[in-house]
């Protein structure tokens, strides 16, 4: 997983492969990615393969699909949810170090 988190870039900018298919994920959160000060709900907006997505994280360190409400999330990307949550968790934990 190649995650880039630089100024003027999305909070999450990565490509994942699920069942051999590539998915380009670009997401921004409505809060600073500071795991010591942020609190839910956290709204994530962006795109997967250039199609819009929006979902809300309802837990501080959410890693389960049930910790999120997927408001705008095309059904064709349903198989990416687990890897997407891993990417969010990875970025949060990296900020803690």
pLDDT above 90: percentage of residues in the chain: 55
State the virtual CA torsion across 6, 62, 97, 39 in degrees, nearest 10.
80
pTM of structure: 0.83
Domain positions in the chain? 12-96
What pLDDT sits at residue 15? 92
> Residue 4 — pLDDT band, cuts 50, 70, 90?
very low
Least confident range from 15-24, 65-74, 85-94: namely 85-94
**Phi and psi at residue 31, to the nearest 5°:** -130, 155
Alpha helices in 1-97, H assignment, sequence order:
81-96
pLDDT digits (tens, 9 = 90+) for 32-69: 877 778 889 999 999 999 999 999 999 877 778 999 99
């Amino acid at each position: 997983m190649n995650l880039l988190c630089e100024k003027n870039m999305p909070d999450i900018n990565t490509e994942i492969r699920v069942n051999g298919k590539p998915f380009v994920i670009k997401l921004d959160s409505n809060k600073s990615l500071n795991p010591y000060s942020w609190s839910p709900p956290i709204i994530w907006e962006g795109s997967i393969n250039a199609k819009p997505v929006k979902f809300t994280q309802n837990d501080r360190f959410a890693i389960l699909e049930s910790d999120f409400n997927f408001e705008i999330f095309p059904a064709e990307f349903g198989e990416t949810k687990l890897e997407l949550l891993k990417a969010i968790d990875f970025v949060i934990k990296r900020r803690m170090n």
